[in-house]
Amino acid sequence: MPLIEVHDLQKLYGGRTVVDGVSFAVEEGEVFGILGPNGAGKTTTVECVEGLRTPDSGLVRVAGLDPVADHERLTRILGAQLQESELQPKLTVREALELYAAFYPNPADWRPLAERLRLTDKLDSRFGKLSGGQKQRLFIALALIGNPKVVVLDELTTGLDPRARRDTWELIEDVRDSGVTVLLVTHFMEEAQRLCDRIAVIDKGRVAALDSPAGLISRAASSTVMSFTPSAPLDRRQLAALPAVTLVEERDGRYTLNGTDETVDAAITLLARHRITAHQLRVSDATLDDAFLDLTGASA
């Protein structure tokens, strides 16, 4: 039985449907990602999983528990880092960690957690004096301090610098390896591609696709991207006529082609035939970002 079950979930606000028949299941020990444009219904969906909102229809279960009816029991096995959170401004980081640890029968030792999230030198700092990134790292620690069976992370690394982001990714990988199930909402494609076993793409309140990162990328209209600066003028129409090409762009004399490996082979043959050298040639696979754009027509 999946650890998290969401079936035909629907949520309305003021008569407007925000979540419209969303269904997915998360296996134990899995990192399951949710991607989607702003306003797609991602946060509302996970808030129903957390028991913070009551669905208008559909079924939600976490380890067999109804998040609303069994909310008190749910809080003992589920940790959450919300998209927006606040603490009392004069509360110190140490006091917040000790307070949250006191809520659970078998809490994690918050000291190594604080060290891992680079909070040790901020233990005596008041919450109101922390930077946005420091607050975010504290909320991640608070989500994990109860030794949860399931943790929901909504925009995990928003506001973190690149080093803190990668440190946090390593922490989540360790959390997953310990058997914790992670439900991750993110706008960072690199984050989703690195951490997630499977991803649900939600668009306009519905699941547009559900697959592994590699599976989603394979659905991209173009599987290969080629870019180069030609050594001599080039007829763009010849590039557009290449096999399997889906896009040709030219900017400041540099061309970008979206297509397949066949497109790349044909482009190189074309350039050789006209004795044109491809300077600064780059060939790369499609990314999760490409797949996201194809599925939703929107940026994250």
- Cα(195)–Cα(159) distance, integer angstroms: 18
Measure the N-to-C terminal CA separation of the chain; round to a whole number of Å.
Answer: 32
CB 99 within 8 A of CB 186: no
pLDDT at 71 over 70: yes
> What is the predicted pLDDT for the residue at 290?
78
Phi-psi region of 168 (alpha: psi -120 to 50; beta: other; left: phi over 0): alpha
**Which stretch of DSSP H or E encloses residue 151?**
strand 150-154
Tokens 């360790």, residue located? 174
- All domains of the chain in start order, with CATH: 4-211 (3.40.50.300), 218-296 (3.30.70.980)
> What is the predicted pLDDT for the residue at 221?
63
Q: Which of 139-148, 168-177, 202-211, 216-225 has the lowest mean pLDDT?
A: 216-225
**DSSP classification of residue 65:** B
> What is the predicted pLDDT for the residue at 84?
85
> What is the predicted pLDDT for the residue at 261?
87
* pLDDT band at residue 298 using 50, 70 and 90 as cut-offs: low
Pick the closest to residue 53 from 41, 61, 45, 65 (CA basis).
Answer: 45
* pLDDT band at residue 195 using 50, 70 and 90 as cut-offs: very high
- Cα(260)–Cα(160) distance, integer angstroms: 35
Tens-digit pLDDT profile for residues 165-180: 998 999 999 999 999 9
Q: Rounded to an integer, what is the distance from CA 288 to the centroid of its chain?
A: 11
Residue 166 pairs in a beta bridge with none
- Cα(106)–Cα(233) distance, integer angstroms: 69
pLDDT at 222 over 70: no
Q: Which 3 state secondary structure label does DSSP give 126? A: strand
pLDDT at 185 over 60: yes
> What is the predicted pLDDT for the residue at 159?
82
Q: What is the mean pLDDT of residues 63-86?
A: 94
pLDDT at 109 over 90: yes
- The average confidence (pLDDT) of the chain is 92
Instruction: Give 12-51 as a DSSP string.
Output: EETTEEEEEEEEEEE-TT-EEEEE--TTSSHHHHHHHHHT
Pick the closest to residue 141 from 160, 109, 117 (CA basis).
Answer: 117
Q: Which of 49-63, 129-143, 206-220, 272-286 has the lowest mean pLDDT?
A: 206-220
CB 226 within 8 A of CB 263: yes
Tens-digit pLDDT profile for residues 39-49: 899 999 999 99
* pLDDT band at residue 262 using 50, 70 and 90 as cut-offs: very high
Q: What is the mean pLDDT of residues 62-77?
A: 96
pLDDT at 37 over 80: yes
Give me the amino acid identity at 82: L
pLDDT at 299 over 60: no
Report which of residues 228 and 258 the model is more confident about. 228
pLDDT at 300 over 60: no
* pLDDT band at residue 156 using 50, 70 and 90 as cut-offs: confident
Q: What is the mean pLDDT of residues 46-58?
A: 97
